Amino acid sequence: MKATTCTYKQQNDLFNRFEDNPILSPTDWPYPANAVFNPAAICLNGQTLLLARVEDRRGFSHLAAARSEDGLTNWQIDPEPMLEPDPEAHEERWGLEDARIVRMADSGEYAITCVSFSVGGPLVSLIMTEDFKTFKRMGTPFPPEDKDACLFPRLFNGLYAMIHRPMIRGQAHIWISFSPDLHYWGEHEILIPVRDGWWDCHRVGLGTQPIETDAGWLIIYHGVRVTPAGQVYRVGLALLDLENPRKLIRRCDEWVFAPCLPYELSGDVPGVVFPTGAVVDKKTNQLRLYYGAADTCIAVATADLDAVLEYASTCPLP
């Protein structure tokens, strides 16, 4: 039987790894790929759609879709990429990476945010779609270097809100910004800073799309600590005020998910769990957390959403 738990207490018991992890690997892909990882996830027409980052053997990434009825097994992978970099017309020179998706409550459109690798460095691209067949490129909200962005699925006092992770003077905090039209952005503020000395001391970045719950917006984020043996990417939780997402109301001290199994410890970048998509099953209240493992394959862990919120609600006020 495959191992699904860590050999010692590297994390608490909130998230359980799926027994058939990894769910998607480069060898599953219908065309040559070096790595498939860091997928956006959304429920679409009753199925789970993953928009995976596929890295080719030049080291350039594009985004490709895989679909499953239960979100765990029998993934149907598109034979062609869904979104490829267009270096002529757009900001993407060396690829599209690490998408997140939300469905906008006002328009029903899907907002995809991904990292474009431009000449000036990584930056965020915003792409809208109604059907995942035709796409409207909305450009780049912020200059490089910026990553790990996602829109909130609804507006706050008439303003769109986006979480993102600029790199400023070598510091990598999670920020929030607002826009009246998805074009002009302002009211930039640090939302979740790195914590000196902690497990998330070197970099933090948004993980999955923000999840709206009665307890607030659940933020699942990654935190990085650089150790003598390399970087360790782990996962933490925070809650934001439902009506004012600038307000951080809880931030957990401990990480809740950490690399420990072979597919998380060995690959292109060992010691990485990097969540980028989540789906909540409304009937069972199960949260499925999709993550890239070691920058090589895609895995999933499940949790009871109520248990996650109960835990997050006991975390300290920042």
Residues near ligand BMA (CB under 6 A), total: 9
Q: Which is nearer to ligand BMA, 180 or 230 (CB)?
A: 230
Binding of ligand BMA by 55 (CB under 6 A): no
Identify the burial level of 183 via C-beta atoms within 10 angstroms of its C-beta, where 0-12 means exposed, 13-18 middle and 19 or more buried. Answer: exposed
CA distances 214 to 56, 204, 236, 241, 260, Å, are 41, 25, 19, 10, 32
Binding of ligand BMA by 274 (CB under 6 A): yes
Instruction: Choose the binding region for ligand BMA from 24-32, 213-221, 269-277, 282-290 (rule: CB under 6 A).
Output: 269-277
The residue type at 43: C
Q: Which is nearer to ligand BMA, 1 or 119 (CB)?
A: 119
> Which has the closest alpha carbon to 222: 239, 211, 208?
208
Among 97, 146, 200, 264, interactor with ligand BMA by CB under 6 A: 97
The residue type at 94: W
Q: Which is nearer to ligand BMA, 110 or 233 (CB)?
A: 233
Least Å distance, CB 1 to ligand BMA, is 28
Binding of ligand BMA by 201 (CB under 6 A): no
CB 166 within 8 A of CB 175: yes
**Mask for 141-180, x = binds ligand BMA (CB under 6 A):** ----------------------------------------
> Which has the closest alpha carbon to 288: 195, 208, 188, 201?
208
Least Å distance, CB 110 to ligand BMA, is 21
CA distances 311 to 91, 141, 260, 283, Å, are 41, 34, 22, 21
Among 55, 91, 98, 146, interactor with ligand BMA by CB under 6 A: 98
CB 103 within 8 A of CB 210: no
Q: Which is nearer to ligand BMA, 15 or 274 (CB)?
A: 274
Q: Which is nearer to ligand BMA, 95 or 210 (CB)?
A: 95
Q: Which is nearer to ligand BMA, 42 or 99 (CB)?
A: 99
How many other C-beta atoms can be found within 10 angstroms of the C-beta atom of residue 271? 20
What does the alpha-carbon distance between residue 144 and residue 122 come to, in Å, rounded to a whole number?
6
Binding site for ligand BMA (CB under 6 A): 38, 97-98, 233, 269, 272, 274, 292, 295
